[in-house]
Amino acid sequence: MLSSKLAIVTGGGSGIGQEICKKLAASGAKLIVADLKKSAAENTAKLLTGSSHTAFEIDVSKLSDVNRLREFIKNWKTSPSVLVNCAGITKDSTLLKMSQEQWQDVMNVNLNSIFMMSQMVARESVKSETPLSIVNVSSIVGKIGNFGQTNYAATKAGVIGFTKSAARELATKNVRVNAVLPGFIRTPMTEAMPPKVLETMVSMVPQRRLGEPEEIANAVLFLASDMSSYVTGTTLEVTGGLGM
Protein backbone atom coordinates (compact mmCIF):
# COMPACT_ATOMS: atom_id res chain seq x y z
CA MET A 1 0.00 0.00 0.00
CA LEU A 2 2.91 2.35 0.66
CA SER A 3 5.53 0.71 -1.53
CA SER A 4 8.76 2.77 -1.61
CA LYS A 5 6.98 5.88 -0.29
CA LEU A 6 8.87 8.05 2.17
CA ALA A 7 7.14 8.44 5.55
CA ILE A 8 8.10 10.52 8.57
CA VAL A 9 6.85 9.57 12.02
CA THR A 10 7.57 11.87 14.96
CA GLY A 11 7.65 10.25 18.37
CA GLY A 12 8.58 7.04 16.60
CA GLY A 13 11.02 5.86 19.23
CA SER A 14 8.51 4.18 21.51
CA GLY A 15 4.89 3.34 22.28
CA ILE A 16 2.22 4.11 19.73
CA GLY A 17 4.73 5.90 17.50
CA GLN A 18 6.91 2.82 17.28
CA GLU A 19 3.90 0.65 16.44
CA ILE A 20 2.94 3.08 13.67
CA CYS A 21 6.46 2.84 12.24
CA LYS A 22 6.23 -0.96 12.21
CA LYS A 23 2.86 -0.89 10.47
CA LEU A 24 3.93 1.56 7.76
CA ALA A 25 7.22 -0.27 7.13
CA ALA A 26 5.36 -3.57 6.82
CA SER A 27 3.25 -1.90 4.14
CA GLY A 28 6.34 -0.97 2.13
CA ALA A 29 7.16 2.55 3.30
CA LYS A 30 10.66 3.89 3.84
CA LEU A 31 10.73 5.41 7.31
CA ILE A 32 12.39 8.41 8.88
CA VAL A 33 11.94 7.60 12.55
CA ALA A 34 12.07 10.98 14.28
CA ASP A 35 12.40 11.16 18.05
CA LEU A 36 13.86 13.30 20.82
CA LYS A 37 16.01 10.33 21.86
CA LYS A 38 18.24 9.18 19.02
CA SER A 39 18.90 5.81 20.66
CA ALA A 40 15.16 5.12 20.80
CA ALA A 41 14.73 6.12 17.15
CA GLU A 42 17.65 3.89 16.16
CA ASN A 43 16.16 0.99 18.07
CA THR A 44 12.86 1.37 16.25
CA ALA A 45 14.60 1.60 12.87
CA LYS A 46 16.34 -1.74 13.57
CA LEU A 47 12.99 -3.40 14.26
CA LEU A 48 11.39 -2.41 10.98
CA THR A 49 10.62 -4.64 8.02
CA GLY A 50 12.68 -3.89 4.95
CA SER A 51 15.63 -1.56 4.54
CA SER A 52 16.32 2.11 3.82
CA HIS A 53 14.96 3.21 7.19
CA THR A 54 16.79 5.83 9.21
CA ALA A 55 16.64 7.46 12.63
CA PHE A 56 16.64 11.20 13.15
CA GLU A 57 17.12 12.99 16.46
CA ILE A 58 14.80 15.98 16.77
CA ASP A 59 13.13 18.24 19.29
CA VAL A 60 9.92 18.92 17.38
CA SER A 61 9.18 21.96 19.53
CA LYS A 62 12.18 23.79 18.04
CA LEU A 63 11.96 25.38 14.60
CA SER A 64 15.73 25.02 14.15
CA ASP A 65 15.38 21.23 14.50
CA VAL A 66 12.47 21.12 12.07
CA ASN A 67 14.56 23.07 9.56
CA ARG A 68 17.43 20.64 10.12
CA LEU A 69 15.06 17.79 9.26
CA ARG A 70 14.04 19.64 6.10
CA GLU A 71 17.67 19.70 4.99
CA PHE A 72 18.06 16.02 5.88
CA ILE A 73 15.06 15.10 3.73
CA LYS A 74 16.80 16.59 0.67
CA ASN A 75 19.33 13.73 0.87
CA TRP A 76 16.55 11.31 -0.06
CA LYS A 77 15.94 13.09 -3.37
CA THR A 78 12.21 12.53 -2.90
CA SER A 79 9.53 14.34 -0.94
CA PRO A 80 7.66 12.57 1.86
CA SER A 81 4.33 11.03 0.95
CA VAL A 82 3.30 10.53 4.58
CA LEU A 83 3.76 12.57 7.73
CA VAL A 84 2.54 11.22 11.05
CA ASN A 85 2.68 13.73 13.89
CA CYS A 86 2.75 11.45 16.94
CA ALA A 87 5.19 13.17 19.30
CA GLY A 88 3.54 14.24 22.53
CA ILE A 89 4.06 14.77 26.24
CA THR A 90 2.01 15.16 29.40
CA LYS A 91 2.70 17.39 32.39
CA ASP A 92 -0.43 16.86 34.42
CA SER A 93 -1.73 19.13 37.14
CA THR A 94 -5.04 20.62 38.17
CA LEU A 95 -5.81 24.04 36.76
CA LEU A 96 -5.35 25.81 40.10
CA LYS A 97 -1.88 24.32 40.57
CA MET A 98 -0.58 24.25 37.01
CA SER A 99 2.52 26.34 36.32
CA GLN A 100 3.08 28.44 33.22
CA GLU A 101 5.97 26.13 32.36
CA GLN A 102 3.75 23.02 32.49
CA TRP A 103 1.22 24.71 30.24
CA GLN A 104 3.73 26.02 27.71
CA ASP A 105 5.88 22.88 27.49
CA VAL A 106 2.87 20.75 26.56
CA MET A 107 1.65 23.39 24.12
CA ASN A 108 5.05 23.53 22.40
CA VAL A 109 5.40 19.79 21.87
CA ASN A 110 1.79 18.75 21.30
CA LEU A 111 0.49 21.61 19.18
CA ASN A 112 3.18 24.02 17.99
CA SER A 113 5.22 21.12 16.61
CA ILE A 114 2.30 19.96 14.47
CA PHE A 115 2.09 23.41 12.89
CA MET A 116 5.82 23.51 12.18
CA MET A 117 6.14 19.93 10.92
CA SER A 118 3.00 20.08 8.78
CA GLN A 119 3.94 23.42 7.27
CA MET A 120 7.45 22.24 6.43
CA VAL A 121 6.42 18.97 4.82
CA ALA A 122 3.39 20.43 3.04
CA ARG A 123 5.55 23.14 1.49
CA GLU A 124 7.91 20.48 0.14
CA SER A 125 4.94 18.47 -1.16
CA VAL A 126 3.37 21.37 -3.00
CA LYS A 127 6.73 22.45 -4.42
CA SER A 128 7.52 18.97 -5.75
CA GLU A 129 3.90 18.14 -6.64
CA THR A 130 4.08 15.01 -4.49
CA PRO A 131 0.75 13.79 -3.06
CA LEU A 132 0.88 13.90 0.74
CA SER A 133 -1.12 12.45 3.61
CA ILE A 134 -0.69 14.10 7.01
CA VAL A 135 -2.01 12.13 9.99
CA ASN A 136 -2.12 13.94 13.32
CA VAL A 137 -2.41 11.91 16.51
CA SER A 138 -4.83 13.76 18.77
CA SER A 139 -6.72 12.17 21.68
CA ILE A 140 -10.28 11.57 22.81
CA VAL A 141 -9.32 13.84 25.72
CA GLY A 142 -9.37 16.69 23.20
CA LYS A 143 -13.07 16.01 22.73
CA ILE A 144 -14.31 15.12 26.22
CA GLY A 145 -11.63 16.62 28.52
CA ASN A 146 -9.97 14.94 31.49
CA PHE A 147 -9.36 15.84 35.11
CA GLY A 148 -5.88 17.25 35.68
CA GLN A 149 -5.15 17.69 31.98
CA THR A 150 -6.30 21.16 30.96
CA ASN A 151 -3.02 21.69 29.11
CA TYR A 152 -3.05 18.31 27.36
CA ALA A 153 -6.76 18.53 26.49
CA ALA A 154 -6.34 22.01 25.09
CA THR A 155 -3.53 20.90 22.79
CA LYS A 156 -5.39 17.84 21.56
CA ALA A 157 -8.52 19.90 20.88
CA GLY A 158 -6.25 22.33 19.03
CA VAL A 159 -4.95 19.48 16.90
CA ILE A 160 -8.50 18.72 15.78
CA GLY A 161 -9.15 22.33 14.80
CA PHE A 162 -5.78 22.58 13.06
CA THR A 163 -6.46 19.36 11.14
CA LYS A 164 -9.81 20.52 9.79
CA SER A 165 -8.54 23.98 8.83
CA ALA A 166 -5.39 22.68 7.16
CA ALA A 167 -7.44 20.09 5.27
CA ARG A 168 -9.64 22.85 3.83
CA GLU A 169 -6.63 24.90 2.75
CA LEU A 170 -4.67 22.02 1.19
CA ALA A 171 -7.42 19.91 -0.40
CA THR A 172 -6.86 21.34 -3.89
CA LYS A 173 -3.10 20.86 -3.58
CA ASN A 174 -3.22 17.05 -3.33
CA VAL A 175 -2.53 17.13 0.42
CA ARG A 176 -4.89 15.32 2.76
CA VAL A 177 -4.93 16.05 6.50
CA ASN A 178 -6.69 13.83 9.04
CA ALA A 179 -6.52 13.03 12.74
CA VAL A 180 -6.73 9.90 14.86
CA LEU A 181 -8.17 10.16 18.36
CA PRO A 182 -6.92 7.29 20.55
CA GLY A 183 -8.80 6.38 23.70
CA PHE A 184 -7.34 4.44 26.62
CA ILE A 185 -4.53 2.39 25.06
CA ARG A 186 -2.46 -0.36 26.66
CA THR A 187 1.03 0.99 27.31
CA PRO A 188 3.71 0.43 29.97
CA MET A 189 2.20 3.40 31.81
CA THR A 190 -1.30 1.91 31.99
CA GLU A 191 0.05 -1.51 32.92
CA ALA A 192 1.85 0.05 35.89
CA MET A 193 -1.37 1.58 37.25
CA PRO A 194 -3.00 0.20 40.41
CA PRO A 195 -5.61 -2.43 39.49
CA LYS A 196 -8.52 -0.38 40.85
CA VAL A 197 -7.55 2.65 38.78
CA LEU A 198 -7.27 0.48 35.69
CA GLU A 199 -10.65 -1.12 36.41
CA THR A 200 -12.24 2.31 36.64
CA MET A 201 -10.74 3.32 33.29
CA VAL A 202 -11.94 0.15 31.58
CA SER A 203 -15.44 0.54 33.05
CA MET A 204 -15.78 3.84 31.15
CA VAL A 205 -15.21 2.12 27.81
CA PRO A 206 -18.31 0.56 26.18
CA GLN A 207 -16.21 -2.33 24.84
CA ARG A 208 -14.84 -2.86 28.37
CA ARG A 209 -11.19 -3.16 27.41
CA LEU A 210 -8.13 -1.10 26.65
CA GLY A 211 -7.09 -0.56 23.07
CA GLU A 212 -3.86 -1.97 21.70
CA PRO A 213 -1.17 0.21 20.06
CA GLU A 214 -1.55 -1.82 16.86
CA GLU A 215 -5.20 -0.74 16.64
CA ILE A 216 -4.07 2.88 16.48
CA ALA A 217 -1.45 1.96 13.90
CA ASN A 218 -4.12 0.28 11.76
CA ALA A 219 -6.15 3.50 11.74
CA VAL A 220 -3.08 5.53 10.83
CA LEU A 221 -2.24 3.17 7.96
CA PHE A 222 -5.76 3.58 6.57
CA LEU A 223 -5.47 7.38 6.62
CA ALA A 224 -1.89 7.37 5.34
CA SER A 225 -2.61 5.14 2.35
CA ASP A 226 -4.72 5.48 -0.77
CA MET A 227 -7.42 3.40 0.92
CA SER A 228 -8.60 6.77 2.25
CA SER A 229 -7.98 8.77 -0.94
CA TYR A 230 -11.37 10.51 -0.62
CA VAL A 231 -10.97 11.25 3.10
CA THR A 232 -9.67 14.57 4.43
CA GLY A 233 -10.46 16.78 7.40
CA THR A 234 -11.85 13.89 9.39
CA THR A 235 -11.23 12.69 12.94
CA LEU A 236 -11.17 8.93 13.44
CA GLU A 237 -11.93 7.90 17.02
CA VAL A 238 -10.27 4.64 18.08
CA THR A 239 -11.69 4.42 21.57
CA GLY A 240 -13.82 1.32 22.01
CA GLY A 241 -16.81 3.67 22.04
CA LEU A 242 -15.53 6.06 24.69
CA GLY A 243 -16.75 9.56 23.94
CA MET A 244 -19.55 8.65 21.53
Is residue 86 in some structural domain? yes
**Catalytic positions:** 152
Please identify every stretch of the chain with a pLDDT value under 50, giving residue numbers as ranges.
none
pLDDT digits (tens, 9 = 90+) for 204-237: 999 999 999 999 999 999 999 999 999 999 999 9
Say how many domains are in the chain: 1
Task: Identify whether 206 is part of a domain.
Answer: no
Q: What residue numbers bound the domain in which 170 lies?
A: 6-185+213-238
Residue 85 lies in a domain: yes
Whether 159 is in a domain gets the answer yes
Q: What is the pLDDT of residue 231?
A: 98
* Angle at alpha carbon of residue 127, lines to 135 and 225, rounded to 5°: 30
Domain annotation covers residue 43: yes
- 200 inside domain: no
Q: What is the CATH number of the domain that holds 228?
A: 3.40.50.720
Compute the Cα dihedral for 43, 48, 50, 52 and give only its sign. negative
Q: Which amino acid does the sequence have at 144? A: I
Quick check: is 190 in a domain?
no
pLDDT at 194: 85
Task: Note whether residue 177 is domain-resident.
Answer: yes
pLDDT recorded at residue 192: 77
